[in-house]
Structure 1
Amino acid sequence: MSALIGIETLIITVIILILSASWRLYQTRKYYRNVTSKLPTLYGIPFVGQAYQFLDLNKLYHNISLNIDTFKKLTGCIWIANTPFVVTVDPEVIKHVTNSPVFLNKATDLYKHFHNGVINGIIVSPAKKWKTNRKAITPFLAHNNIMAFFSYFNENAINMKNRLAELAGQGEQDIFTIIKECGLQLSFLTIMGIKMEEGTETYREIVQAFNVIIDLMAKNSIYSSVGLGFLSNTPQYRRYREYLRDLVRSLIKKNLSREAKNHFEEDKQMMIDLALKSMRQGIFSEKDVEIECFTMIAASYETSVSAAYTCLMTLAMHPEIQERVFQEIRSVFPDGITAVEYDDLKKLPYLDMCIADALRLAPPIPYIGREAIHDTELCPGVILPKNMQVVIPIYELHRRKEIWGPNANRFNPDNFLPENIAKRHPSAYMLFSKGARNCIGFRYAEISLRIILLHAIRNLKFSTTFKFEDIVHQPKVTLSYQIEPPISIEIREN
C-alpha cells in the first residue's frame, strides 16, 4: 500500500513539475512574442528547442547554415532550450549591433564557458567594467609599444621556422604542435616578461594545461547551451585550472619583486607592468591583475596560433598561390630575412590578400554575441526586450553566397582586391569583430602573424595531400579542426 502511495506521489510531483515548466515556457514565449512574430523563428522541441542540432560539433556550422537558409532571410530567431537568440548575417544589422552602445555587453549564455575564474576578464566584462579595464590595458597594445616588440616577434618567428625546418624531408608531419608551443612562448614573453625555456618539465606542463583547459572550455560552451554545463566541470578541469591560476599568481609575485628592484625594460611596457600599475592606482584589485593577465595570455595564444596554422595549411593546399606569395616575399627580401621591420609589412599586398581570405574561411573567432542593455530597435519594426541576445555567426557570414558570390566556400585571395572590397558592405568581413568592443589586440595579432609567415614562407615550402574540401571545422574556444591536416616541409634554396 505504501509503495502505491509512493508511486502516486512521484507521478503527481512529475506532473506538477511538467506543468510548472510548461507554464514558464509559455510565459517566456509570450514575453518574446513581439520579436518572434516579426522574425522567422525556429522553435524546435519544447524545453530543448534547436539545441540538439549543436551537440554534434562536426555538423554545427552546417546546421547553422541550414537554419539561416530556412529563415529565407538574413536575420531570424532560434530557440535554444528555453532561451531565444536572434541570429543575423545581415551586414546592416551587424553594423547596428556592433556600433550601438546598447549592445556593449556580451551575450550571457554564449560566453558562459569564460566564467571559470581564469579567463573572465576583458573578454566578458560588463560594459562599465570593460571600459575601465580596456583603458588600463590599451597602452600595452598601442602602436609604439607593439613596435618595441618587433625584436621579440622576429626572434619567435625565427625559432618557429628553425623548428619547422627540422621536419624537412620527413613526409607529412604535425606542425600545429610546434606553432602552439612557439605561440605560447611569445604570449608569456610579451605579457608577463617571462622567457619559457623549451624542453623543461614546467614548459611541457604549461602547454598541456593550456590545451586541456581550451578543450574543456569548448565542451562547456556546448553543454551550457542545454543547461548541462556542470558536465564539463571535471576533476581534470579543476586541477588544470588551479595549476594555471597558481602559475599566473607566481609570475605576478616575480614581477612585483622585479618592480621593487626597478628592473624594467624602458622601451617596452609589458602587460603585467601596466596591470600592476593599475593595481597601485586602485583601478585593479589583485584578482583583476591575475584574471586580465591570464585572459590576455590565453586570447593572444589561442587566436594567433590558430591563424598561423590556418594560413600555412591553406597555402600548402594551394601551391600555385603559395609560390606567388613566395615570389612577392623574395622581391622584398632577395637575400633572405634577418629581421622584419614595420615598413616591410607595407610592401606585401598579395600576402595580405591571402591572409585575409584564409581567415575569412576559417576565422579564429567563429561567432560573437551581444546582449541588449535595455529595450531597443534591432531593425525597422523589431524591438528587442532588455537582455535579449544577438548572435553573429562570423563563420557563416564569411561564406554567404549573397555576399561572396557562388564560390564563397573556395579560397580566393582576389576577394580582397581593392575593387572587390569596395563592392562589399564594410560589415560583411569582421575578422576581429567591429565597433567599440572589437578585439583589442588585433594589431598585435596582425603584425605577429605576418612576421611568422614571412620567415616561414621565405625559407620553407609547405605541401599536403589533404584536400581543402575535406576540412571539417569544429568550435572550441577558437575555430579548430576535426582532423588537423599534416604538412610536408622542404627547405628552399634561394
Structure 2
Amino acid sequence: MFELLLVFFTLYTLTYYYLSYRPSRKRVYELATKIPGPFDWPLIGSVHLSITAGSRQIFDYLLQFLHTTRTPIRAWIGPFLFVFFDKPEHLEVILNSQNCVSKSYVHRFFRFEKGLLNCAPDLWRVLRKRLNPSFSSTIINNFVPAFSDQADKLVQYLEPFVDRKAMDLLPKVSSYTLSAALLNLFGVNVRVNDTEYIEQFADNAEKMWLLMWDRIYKPWFYLDFAYKLSPNYKKEKKRIHQLQQLSCEIYTARESLRPKPNPEQTDVKANTSEILIERLERMTFVTKEIGEDILLHNIDTFLFASNDTTSNVIATTLLMMAMHPDVQKRVHKEVMQTITSDTITYEDLCSLQYLEMVIKESMRLVPVASVIGRVCERELKVDNWTIPAGTEISIPIFKLHRDKSIWGERSEEFDPDNFLPERCSQRHPYAYLPFGGGIRNCIGIRYAWTSMKVGLAKLVRKYKFSTDLKLKDIKFQTSLILLIHNRHMMRIERR
C-alpha cells in the first residue's frame, strides 16, 4: 500500500511540475539557463550533491567548486534558484540595490524573524532608522569603561589556566563579550558574574546554530511540517528555550526601568544618549511602533550579534597571534607603548593601528559569516546577466577573502600587511566584507571594534599565547557563523 501511495505521489508531483508550476515560471527558467551551473535533476536540482554529505563536506565541496569555476554560477535547490557572485564590482551593485534588501529565505531557519538581523525589509527600515543612534561614536565611547572592567575580569578568570595544557579559549572569551553586552546594550547586570552560566549559554548557542544550519543543505526539510517530524526540531526547540531564558531575565529586570507612556505628551523624541534597550522599550511602550514580540526578538538577536560574533573574532585573532609569535610580539609592543595604565580610553583604541590590522587579517581568513545571502525581489541587471525576480543571491565571503586575483599568491597565508593603507587604497572596497556591505551592513561595527580592541589589548598586556595548531591544519565548520572545527586551542603564559 505504501509503495502504491509513493508512486502516486511521485507521478502527481511530476505532472504538476511540468504542466503547471514550471510553465508559470517561464521567465525565471529562461534567464537562469543563461547563467552557467552544474547539472540539475528535475524537481530536486543540485540536491544530489548534498544527500550523503555533512556540513563540513558541503563547505569543502563548495570551496573547491567555486575556486575552480568562474562566477556568477547558478544552482537549483528544489524550486529555489541560487546564484553565486564573488566579484567585488558585482557585489557593489547587488548590496546597494533596493531590490536586494531582503535576507535569504533560509535565514528564517535561524528564527527570531522579527529581529533586526532577519526581519523583512519594511520592519528592518524602521528598526534600523530608530536604532542607529544607539551605535553612534559618542555612545560607544561611553561603553569603554564597562568593556575595560569586564576585560579585567576575563584576565583574572584566566589566571588558574596559566602554564597549563592547551585549552579552547573561545568559551572563556564569551564571559567577557556577553557580560559587556548585558551592561552596555541592555543596561542590566543579570548573570554578569556567572561565568559558568555564560559558558553554558555560549555552548548552547553554538550547538543551536549548527542544528539550524544542518537544515539548509537538506531541502526536504524546508517544509515546516516535514522538519517538525525530524529529531533536530525537538533538539532545536530545547536549545531555543534555553537561549530565550536569558532574554526573559533581561525583560524582567528592565520592568521597573521602562518609560511610561504620557497621554499629555504628543511629541515623543528620543534622548540622544539612549542605549539599545532604551530605544527598543520606547518604541514598544511609548510610541507603540513595535509590539512586545518584536522587542523580545531583538533582545535575542542582539544577544547573539554582540556575543557569538565578537567572541569568535577575539579568540581567532589570539589564535593567529599564537601561530605567529613575531606578530604577537609587535602587537604587545604597540599595546604597551600606547596604554600606559590600567585605564583604557577611546583615544588609546584609535592609536592601536597594528592591532587593528591584525584583527582585520584574522577576519579576512576566518570571516564571521562564510556566506551571506540576499533575495532579488525584482529583476536586476548585474554586468551581462539579468537576475530573475525571486533568486537567492549567495555571496561566498570566505572565497572572496582568499581570492588570489585580489590578495595575491599568498592569499591563504596570514599577513597583517594586507591592511597597510597603501595596499587598501589599491583594492576595490567590496573586496573585503567582514561586516557585510551596502544598504544592509552590520549596525554594530563601532561596537564590535571597541569590544575587540579592548579585550585583546587587556589580554595581550597580561599574557602570552602559544599553540601547536598551524594555519594549514585548521578545519572549518559552517553555522550561522563560521566555526573552527578543531577549536581555539592555546596555552597561556604570564608575561
TM over 0.5: yes
Q: 1:199 to 1:350 in 2, by over 3 A?
A: closer
Select between 289-298 and 324-333 the one with higher mean Cα deviation: 324-333
Q: Tell me the amino acid that sits aligned with residue 102 of structure 1.
A: N
- Are 1:324 and 2:308 matched, yes or no? no
SS at 2:410 equivalent? coil
Aligned to 2:149: 155
Cα contact 2:174–2:198 (8 A) shared by 1: no
- SS of the residue corresponding to residue 302 of structure 2 reads helix
Equivalent of 1:49 in 45, 53, 68:
45
Distance 2:323 2:475 in 1: 15
Alignment match, 2:214? 219
Paired position in structure 2 for 1:286: 292
Quick one: which amino acid aligns to residue 365 of structure 1?
A: A
Task: Using the TM superposition, name which of 18-27 and 453-462 deviates more.
Answer: 18-27
> 1:152 & 1:27 partners in 2: Cα distance?
60
What SS class does the counterpart of residue 489 from structure 1 fall into? Answer: strand
User: For residue 442 of structure 1, what is the amino acid of its counterpart?
Assistant: I
- The residue aligned with 2:100 is 103
- SS of 1:390's partner is strand
Partner residue of 1:437?
440
Q: Which secondary structure does the structure 2 equivalent of 1:427 belong to? A: helix
Residues 225 and 423 of structure 1: CA distance in aligned 2, closer, same or farther (over 3 Å): farther
State, as a whole percentage, how many aligned pairs show the same letter: 25
- C-alpha distance in 2 between matches for 1:254 and 1:413: 43
CA-to-aligned-CA distance 1:325-368 (integer Å, 9 cap, x gap): 111222223x4x41221111222222111111111000112211
In the alignment, what sits opposite 2:34? 38
**CA deviation vs aligned residue, 1:80-128 (integer Å, no higher than 9, x gap):** 233221101111110001111111111213x1322x2x36411122222
CA distance in 1, matches of 2:318, 2:432: 21
Distance 1:119 1:458 in 2: 41
User: Which of 374, 382, 397 lines up with 1:378 in the alignment?
Assistant: 382
CA distance in 2, matches of 1:37, 1:344: 55
Q: 1:57 to 1:12 in 2, by over 3 A?
A: closer
Q: Write the distance in 2 (CA, Å) between the matches of 1:204 and 1:65.
A: 32
In the other structure, the counterpart of 2:480 is 477
1:217-263 CA-to-partner distances (Å, cap 9, x unmatched) read 3333344586364436533322332344354234223312123699x
Contact 1:471 1:483 in 2 (8 A): yes
Q: Provide the secondary structure at the position in 1 that maps to 2:148.
A: helix
Cα drift, residue 22 of structure 1: 5.4
2:323 and 2:466 in contact (8 A); partners too: yes
Per-residue Cα deviation, 1:367-386 (whole angstroms, up to 9, x for no partner): 11111222221223x22222
TM-score w.r.t. structure 2 length?
Answer: 0.89
Q: Which letter does structure 1 place at the counterpart of 2:81?
A: P
Q: Structure 1 residues 188, 390: closer, same or farther in 2, change over 3 A?
A: same
Q: Number of residues paired by the alignment?
A: 478
Could you say what secondary structure the match of 1:439 adopts? coil
In the other structure, the counterpart of 1:164 is: 158
| 2:366 aligned partner, one-letter code | A
Cα distance, 1:387 vs. partner?
1.8
Task: Identify which range, 251-260 or 120-129, moves more after superposition.
Answer: 251-260
Rounded to whole Å, the distance in 1 between the matches of 2:159 and 2:210 is: 28
Matches within 5 A, 1:454-465: 454-465=457-468
Match of 2:373, SS state, is: strand
**Compared CA separation, residues 327 and 251, structure 1 to 2 (3 A):** closer
Provide closer, same or farther for how the CA distance between residues 257 and 9 of structure 1 changes in structure 2, counting only shifts above 3 A. closer
- Matches for 1:443-454 after TM superposition, within 5 Å: 443-454=446-457
1:307 matched to 2:340? The reply is no
Give 1:385-464 correspondences, 5 Å limit. 385-464=388-467
Quick one: which of 364, 367, 371 aligns to 2:371? 367
Aligned-partner Cα distance in 1 for 2:41–2:369 = 29
State the AA in 1 paired with 2:322.
Answer: A
CA distance in 2, matches of 1:340, 1:349: 15
Aligned partner (choices 91, 95, 99) of residue 94 of structure 1: 91
Q: Secondary structure at the match of 2:279?
A: helix
Return closer, same or farther for 1:180/1:52 CA change in 2, 3 Å cut-off: farther
**Alpha-carbon distance in 1 for matches of 2:62, 2:6:** 39
Q: Which amino acid aligns with 1:215?
A: L
Report the RMSD for the aligned CA atoms in angstroms: 2.7
Unpaired stretches in structure 2, ≥5 consecutive residues: 262-270
Distance 2:80 2:72 in 1: 17
The answer as to whether partners of 2:44 and 2:79 remain within 8 angstroms in 1 is yes
Residue number in structure 1 paired with 2:130: 136
> Which residue of 1 is the match for residue 62 of structure 2?
64
The letter for the 1-side match of 2:99 is V
User: What is the DSSP-based 3-state SS (H/G/I as helix, E as strand, rest coil) of the residue aligned with 1:465?
Assistant: coil
Structure 1 residues 224-233 or 399-408, which shifts more?
Answer: 224-233
Superposition map of 1:106-125 within 5 A = 106-109=103-106, 111-114=107-110, 116=111, 118=112, 120-125=114-119
CA contact (8 A) 2:210 2:478 kept: no
Quick one: distance in 1 between partners of 2:148 and 2:104?
A: 37
Q: Distance in 1 between matches of 2:311 and 2:232?
A: 26
Taking a change above 3 Å as real, the CA distance of residues 443 and 260 of structure 1, as seen in their structure-2 partners, is closer
User: Aligned equivalents of 1:226 and 1:261: distance in 2?
Assistant: 44
Q: Please report how far the alpha carbon of residue 141 of structure 1 lies from its aligned counterpart in structure 2 after TM superposition.
A: 1.0
Compute the displacement of 1:59 (Å): 3.0
Specify the SS of the correspondent of 1:41: coil
Cα separation, 2, equivalents of 1:310 and 1:159: 20
Which residue identity does 1:100 align to in structure 2? Answer: S
TM-score, normalisation: structure 1: 0.89
Partner secondary structure for residue 79 of structure 1: strand
- Greater CA deviation, 29-38 or 390-399? 29-38
Instruction: Give me the whole-angstrom Cα distance separating, in 1, the residues matched to 2:235 and 2:28.
Output: 39
Residue in structure 2 matching 1:273, options 272, 278, 294: 278
| Shift in Å, 1:46 | 3.6
1:372-408 C-alpha deviation (Å, 9 max, x unpaired): 222221223x222222121111111101111111111
Distance (Å, rounded) in 2 between the aligned partners of 1:390 and 1:171: 44
Distance 2:283 2:5 in 1: 59
Q: 2:265 corresponds to which residue?
A: none
Q: Distance in 1 between matches of 2:4 and 2:166?
A: 64
Tell me, what secondary structure is at the counterpart of 2:163? coil
